[in-house]
């Protein structure tokens, strides 16, 4: 394509999802990825029903299920004593929302979307680092570090936490939470795995730390995530999140959690950042998508899902505002996209921060939280309906407003079970 209809910048999960969504609407899409090859770093990722409904619409759900695990339950335990606090029956949850809760390796999800883009005819270009964006009379243009330029009717910036395009709309920086995530996978033949129920997604919540585990690839491996607050980060040091801090953070947790720490990758860790919510995502014919618009903390496992939702909504709005000659009214389509998505994503961002605080309580506050969680009915969905239902995807429906409920009331404890740092 000498002049595609759409340029997508970024070949991560969000960029690939958007490219596929727009291509299946009959648009010519060029995707620019800065890396020399496509790939995804990390381990497991959780896909709630608000994502699997989109994969089903894309015709990709069965392939995703074959690559991942559909667990039976999500369980929350206290990281200090190991006692169960509450659970979600994920099979019942599937019946409620119509789509399953799925866990999958990030690279498997990324590969699934990459193959879908290849089949659909997306033009995939590597070694294309975008350094600037600008609007033109006919659409938008991006410039690469190589000196090349690319133009299209619209540019979708899925360029991540450190987005260049975001600077067109707001002058801000990523916000450090001072928390660090370690990840690791354990092969099924290890004795560690034999002590685990791979049909469960389990999160152990503790003072200033938490630990997550679940099965991947049909039970061939156990995915583990250990998250903790870094004293070095709080002290303003640059060398924060090191393995010595990992061991110290979990020293007072139960045996099962401590026994999992030797299986974490100790040569790399992920510092946890988000950004403050913004309600403007569109600058002329340039639109933000995924982490460039709304990078969340991981506590309700919605980061990649929100990016996939963004792409689906873009595709639907492009189809809705397309004339008989095939031309998309991008001004109207992008305005509709910006009307549907930012409020929901703002709510996810602020809720993720609140759930992180709730999970990491200590002292009397921890005891109160635990009491609220133990009192929760397994089949109470009052705090997952807004997240797992279709509200954020319905173009005709105004996003509902959100008033946070304080910790002293029971539903706040219920909400803490939704997802986990994956």
Supply the residues annotated as catalytic.
214
User: Residue 172 burial by CB count (10 A; 0-12/13-18/19+): exposed, middle or buried?
Assistant: exposed
Q: Which residues contact 55 (CB under 8 A, 6 or more apart)?
A: 47, 61, 64, 308
Can you give the chain as a three-state secondary structure string? CCCCCEEEECCCHHHHHHHHHHHCCCCCEEEECCCCCCCCCCCEEEECHHHHHHHHHCCCHHHHHHHCECCCEEEEEECCCCCEEEEEEHHHHHHHHCCCCEEEEHHHHHHHHHHHHHHHCCEEECCCCEEEEEECCCCEEEEECCCCEEEECEEEECCCCCCCHHHHCCCCCCEEEEEEEEEEEEECCCHHHHCCCCCEEEEEEECCEEEEEEEEHHHCEEEEEEEEECHHHHCCCCCCCCHHHHHHHCCCCCHHHHHHHHHCCCCCCEEEEECCCCCCCEECCEEECHHHCCCCCHHHCCHHHHHHHHHHHHHHHHHHCECCCCCECHHHHHHHHHHHCHHHHHHHHHHHHHHHHHHCCCHHHHHHHHHHHHHCCCCCCCCCHHHHCCHHHCCCCCCCCCCCCCCCCHHHHHHCCCCCCC
Pair of tokens at residue 186: 């354990």
Helix (H, G, I), strand (E, B) or coil at 249: helix
Q: Which residues contact 225 (CB under 8 A, 6 or more apart)?
A: 43, 44, 181, 182, 183, 211, 212, 213, 420, 421, 422
Please give the Cα distance from 78 to 67 (Å, whole number).
Answer: 30
| Angle, CA of 249, 368 and 92, to the nearest 5° | 90
Please give the Cα distance from 84 to 203 (Å, whole number).
Answer: 10
């Amino acid at each position: 394509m000498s002049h595609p209809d759409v340029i997508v910048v970024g070949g991560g999960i969000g960029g690939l999802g958007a490219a596929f969504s727009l291509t299946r609407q009959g648009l010519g899409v060029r995707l620019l990825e800065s890396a020399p090859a496509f790939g995804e770093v990390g381990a497991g990722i959780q896909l709630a029903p608000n994502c699997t409904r989109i994969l089903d619409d894309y015709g990709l759900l069965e392939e995703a299920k074959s690559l991942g695990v559909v667990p039976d339950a999500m369980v929350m335990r206290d990281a200090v004593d190991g006692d169960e606090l509450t659970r979600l029956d994920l099979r019942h949850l599937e019946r409620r929302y119509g789509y399953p809760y799925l866990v999958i390796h990030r690279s498997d999800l990324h590969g699934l979307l990459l193959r879908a883009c290849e089949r659909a005819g997306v033009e995939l270009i590597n070694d294309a680092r975008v350094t600037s964006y600008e609007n033109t009379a006919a659409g938008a243009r991006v410039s690469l570090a190589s000196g090349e330029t690319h133009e299209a009717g619209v540019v979708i910036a899925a360029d991540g936490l450190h987005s260049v395009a975001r600077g067109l709309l707001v002058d801000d920086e990523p916000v450090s939470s001072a928390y660090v995530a370690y990840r690791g996978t354990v092969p099924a033949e290890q004795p560690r795995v034999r002590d685990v129920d791979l049909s469960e997604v389990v999160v152990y919540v503790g003072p200033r730390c938490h630990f997550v585990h679940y099965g991947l690839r049909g039970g061939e491996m156990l995915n583990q995530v250990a998250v903790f607050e870094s004293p070095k980060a709080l002290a303003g040091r640059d060398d924060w999140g090191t393995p010595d801090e990992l061991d110290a953070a979990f020293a007072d947790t139960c045996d099962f959690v401590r026994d999992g720490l030797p299986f974490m990758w100790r040569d790399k860790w992920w510092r946890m950042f988000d950004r403050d919510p913004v309600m403007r995502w569109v600058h002329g014919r340039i639109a933000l998508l995924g982490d460039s618009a709304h990078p969340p903390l991981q506590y309700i496992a919605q980061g990649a899902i929100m990016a996939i939702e963004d792409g689906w909504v873009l595709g639907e709005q492009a189809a809705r505002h397309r004339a008989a000659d095939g031309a998309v009214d991008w001004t109207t389509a992008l305005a509709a996209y910006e009307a549907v998505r930012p409020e929901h994503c703002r709510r996810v961002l602020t809720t993720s921060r609140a759930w992180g605080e709730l999970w990491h309580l200590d002292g009397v506050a921890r005891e109160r939280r635990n009491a609220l969680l133990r009192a929760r009915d397994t089949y109470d969905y009052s705090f997952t309906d807004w997240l797992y239902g279709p509200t954020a995807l319905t173009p005709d429906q105004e996003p509902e407003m959100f008033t946070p409920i304080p910790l002293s009331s029971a539903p706040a404890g219920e909400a803490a079970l939704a997802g986990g740092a994956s």
